[in-house]
């Protein structure tokens, strides 16, 4: 479990750091001042800052600017230096998760200064706010492309290119039907079917033919789940009323598929677009069902749930963890761009309103809306966390038993 927490912190830190780096680099390119770019969350341990000498009128057209670096110790803001203008503080902070960026004028102040966020044109501010989401999508694309170079777990079917290299083929469960024989005996998504009554299963058709003739007869299944092999006794039933026994699972032939680098990059592009679209559709269904029926149609995990799943994926191997990180990065991007107050999407929504009205929304009103949105998000996270604790109580209990 300690390894799970460590891996979870690294993955979460990477996703947040990349997101904040997107805001940082775009703000710099747009000529917006960045007061601080930190690794981890405050309080600050230490930082460095390059104090740049102010230019005279004669020096403005020169490329080179002299300056010096200075240490910034602790949380106090460094004092002003005579004849120098302050630059970005690059800091190391005590809470080692992700990072943050403090952009000048992001809260609506100092709009009159040219390097303030509020002074820039609307399209520039939208670009700065959107850049974190874009960076998360780019990270997912890079991870998926690397995965396809090394060999990424994928479904093997007629659409698989002939030039793909396939290894570690297996018959795997993609879905377990509710109230089916498979669910009753505890078969799970991701289980690999090795044999039935001692006979090796090499294809989906072989397995379907074997179970089809075994209505109401017990079959001994050997499956692989993670690193362990498990035996399950299951009785196929005629669920479709067609005289064929089934156990109620959706199967797929899967394996590690790798490509040459050019094709891996192209597959990374296609897969990133495809997965992003599928997640968008899933979010739409969740929100629609939540509004129409006040029910959540999908299994949603919070920080605790994601941490537990991270541990389960980590046990499967590095390449599975790579794939899982890419999926989390896309999820983070989409969630962050939802038009909800306190999120990047909510801030962009206010800029769109400003463009349509021809003037900005009152800063006090916008701040109030974002603060209320932040409180609602915290409440939602707490609710989902309590749900995760109840769902994964055995995992958490085992963790503390090992410690004490």
pLDDT for residue 67: 59
Residue 113 lies in a domain: no
Identify any residues that bridge with 48 across adjacent strands, giving them in sequence order. Answer: 71, 90
pLDDT (0 to 100) of residue 394:
61
Confidence of residue 255 (pLDDT cuts 50, 70, 90): confident
Could you tell me if residue 87 is left (phi over 0), alpha (psi between -120 and 50 degrees) or otherwise beta?
A: beta
206 token code pair: 């072989």
Residue 379 lies in a domain: no
Strand (E) or helix (H) holding 266: helix 261-293
CA distance readout (Å), 139 to 142, 143, 148, 310, 365: 5, 6, 14, 18, 35
If one compares 183 and 303, the residue with the highest pLDDT of the two is 183
Beta bridge partners of 228: 225
Q: Over the stretch 333-367, which tens digit does the pLDDT of each residue have?
A: 998 998 888 889 999 999 999 889 888 888 888 88
Who has greater pLDDT, 66 or 370?
370
From residue 123, give the alpha-carbon distance in Å to each of 108, 129, 132, 300.
16, 10, 15, 34
Q: Answer whether the bond into residue 193 is a cis peptide, omega within 30°.
A: no
Task: Express each pLDDT in 162-212 by its tens digit.
Answer: 788 888 888 888 888 888 888 888 888 888 889 888 888 888 888 888 888
- Give the chain's length: 404
Q: Is residue 239 within 8 Å of 135, Cβ to Cβ?
A: no
More confident residue, 392 or 144: 144
Please tell me the predicted confidence (pLDDT) of residue 64.
44
Residue 301 confidence class, pLDDT cut points 50, 70, 90: low
> Which pLDDT score, from 0 to 100, does residue 63 have?
44
In-domain check, residue 44? no
Looking at residue 86, its pLDDT comes to 63
Inter-axis angle of helices 393-403 and 363-391, nearest 10: 80
Question: Is residue 263 included in any domain, yes or no?
Answer: no
Looking up residue 236, the CATH number of its domain turns out to be: 2.30.42.10
- Range 280-288, long-range pairs (CB < 8 A, 24+ positions): 280/334, 283/334, 283/338
Mean pLDDT score of the chain: 82
In a domain? residue 330:
no
Q: Is residue 300 part of a domain?
A: no
Q: Which two tokens stand for residue 288?
A: 């629609």
Residues 6+ apart with CB under 8 A from 342: 370, 371, 373, 374, 377
- C-alpha R_g of the chain: 27
Residue-level pLDDT at 395: 59
pLDDT: which is higher, 21 or 373: 21
Is the pLDDT at 331 greater than 50? The verdict is yes
Domain that residue 232 falls in: 165-258
Q: Parallel, antiparallel, or unpaired for β 219-225 and 34-53?
A: unpaired
Distance CA 194, CA 82 (A): 74
Q: What is the DSSP string of 160-202?
A: S-TT-EEEEEEEEEEEE-TTSHHHHHT--TT-EEEEETTEE--
Q: Is 298 exposed, middle or buried (0-12, 13-18, 19+ CB in 10 A)?
A: exposed
Would you say 334 and 279 are in contact if contact means Cβ atoms under 8 Å apart?
yes
Indicate if the pLDDT at residue 135 is higher than 90: yes
Q: How confident is the model at residue 272 (pLDDT cuts 50, 70, 90)?
A: very high
In this prediction, residues 293-301 reach a mean pLDDT of 60
The secondary element (H helix, E strand) that includes residue 154 is strand 152-155
**Separation of alpha carbons 346 and 339, rounded Å:** 4
Q: Would you give the end-to-end CA distance of the chain in angstroms?
A: 13
Instruction: Please return the burial class of 228, using the count of CB atoms within 10 Å of its CB with bins 0-12, 13-18 and 19+.
Output: exposed
Average pLDDT (72-83) is: 69
Residue for token digits 């492309």?
Answer: 145
Has residue 305 been placed in a domain? no
Residue 191 lies in a domain: yes
- Nearest 5°: phi and psi at 266? -65, -40
Full-model pTM = 0.79
Whether the predicted pLDDT of 283 surpasses 70: yes
Tell me: pLDDT of 273 over 90. yes
Query: Which is more confident, 63 or 177?
Result: 177
Nearest to 337 by CA among 268, 279, 380, 274: 279
pLDDT, greater one: 385 or 207: 207
Number of domains within the chain: 1
What's the average model confidence in pLDDT over 80-91?
A: 71
């Amino acid at each position: 479990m300690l390894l799970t927490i460590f891996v979870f912190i690294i993955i979460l830190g990477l996703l947040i750091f990349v997101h904040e780096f997107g805001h940082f680099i775009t703000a710099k390119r747009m000529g917006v001042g960045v007061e601080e770019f930190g690794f981890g969350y405050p309080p600050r341990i230490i930082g460095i800052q390059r104090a740049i000498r102010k230019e005279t009128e004669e020096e403005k057209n020169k490329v080179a600017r002299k300056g010096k670096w200075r240490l910034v110790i602790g949380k106090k803001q460094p004092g002003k230096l005579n004849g120098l203008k302050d630059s970005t503080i690059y800091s190391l902070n005590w809470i080692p998760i992700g990072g943050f960026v403090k952009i000048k004028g992001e809260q609506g102040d100092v709009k009159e200064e040219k390097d303030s966020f509020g002074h820039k044109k609307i399209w520039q501010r939208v670009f700065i706010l959107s850049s974190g989401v874009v960076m998360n999508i780019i990270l997912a694309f890079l991870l998926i492309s690397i995965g396809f170079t090394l060999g990424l777990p994928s479904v093997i079917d007629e659409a698989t290119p002939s030039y793909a290299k396939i290894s570690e083929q297996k018959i795997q469960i993609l879905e377990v039907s509710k109230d089916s024989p498979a669910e009753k005996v505890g078969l799970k998504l991701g289980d690999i079917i090795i044999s039935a009554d001692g006979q090796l299963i090499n294809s989906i058709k072989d397995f379907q033919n074997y179970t089809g003739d075994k209505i109401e007869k017990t079959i001994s299944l050997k499956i692989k789940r993670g690193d362990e092999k498990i035996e399950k006794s299951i009785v196929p039933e005629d669920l479709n009323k067609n005289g064929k026994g089934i156990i109620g699972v959706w199967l797929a032939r899967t394996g590690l598929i790798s490509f040459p680098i050019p094709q891996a990059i192209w597959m990374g592009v296609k897969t990133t677009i495809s997965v992003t679209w599928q997640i968008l559709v899933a979010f739409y269904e969740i929100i629609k069902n939540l509004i129409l029926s006040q029910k959540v149609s999908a299994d949603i995990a919070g920080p605790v749930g994601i941490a537990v799943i991270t541990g389960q994926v980590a046990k499967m191997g590095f390449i599975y963890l790579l794939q899982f990180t890419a999926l989390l990065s896309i999820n983070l991007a989409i969630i962050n761009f939802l038009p909800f107050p306190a999120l990047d999407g909510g801030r962009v929504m206010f800029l769109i309103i400003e463009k349509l009205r021809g003037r900005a929304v009152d800063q006090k009103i916008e701040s109030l809306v974002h603060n209320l949105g932040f409180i609602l998000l915290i409440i939602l996270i707490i609710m989902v966390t309590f749900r995760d604790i109840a769902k994964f109580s055995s995992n958490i209990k085992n963790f503390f038993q090992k410690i004490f």
